Amino acid sequence: MPLTPAQIAQLQDAITGYAFPALYFGFNNNVEVTAQNMGQVEAALADQLKSQELLRTKHGLANVLYWGYAQIPYRWKRVNNFVSKVSDRQITTFQSLINDNNIPTPTAVYRCRLPEYSGMSFISKILMFLNPCDYCVLDQQLAKLRTPGAPKILNDLIFGGNETQIRITNHNEAVYNGWRNECAMISQMYFQGIYRVVDIERGFFNLIQSNNLLDAQAIYNDA
């Protein structure tokens, strides 16, 4: 069934109320940067990731971790592990994937063997920063949208209760592409396309983080 006006309003409020920390790190001068909004974070990280300067790309990949682990106590452990272990060859391999503004597949990024980038959660964050209009995040929080029997693509995700991350497989990559297509269709159907794929995803994420999981599931399944 289509979304009710109340459900549309609830999702829109969650989209506009998304308030994940808009932070990244200035590795050149060793200081945290507090941005005015997520748009500034997106622009800064995209500029770093798409750079053909090895160190700037390295800083961009480190910043995806820095931003993504903003609410996690062991953030610096993850960031430092990446910075200390990533090789120049791994970075140049990644750079070659995004020449001419190409957006790589999750599998292609996985094959770079970048430290800390072995699962869908953070690999999808890279893709999101490269193109937030058409790409978004798929992590363990968003996997909570799954409800047995509902005809939605996330229910096809292979991610067991004992797994610590969403594995990169051809199947899960197809689910990821279906998920971002669902987000695009929700924007077109209910918001005249004014929201990007990442905005719709962030709305669902915000609902889940705000202890409104049942409402998020209902909106997702009905949309």
Question: Within 10 A of 98 (CB to CB), how many other CB atoms are there?
Answer: 21
- Domain edges within the chain: 5-222
Contact, 194 vs 215, CB < 8 A? no
Q: Which residues of 21-51 are buried (b: 16+ CB within 10 A; e: fewer)?
A: ebebbebeeeeeeebeebeebbebbbebbbb
Q: Where are the alpha helices (DSSP H) in 111-196?
A: 120-130, 170-191
101 vs 31 pLDDT, higher one: 31
pLDDT digits (tens, 9 = 90+) for 71-89: 899 999 999 999 999 999 9
- Does the pTM exceed 0.95? yes
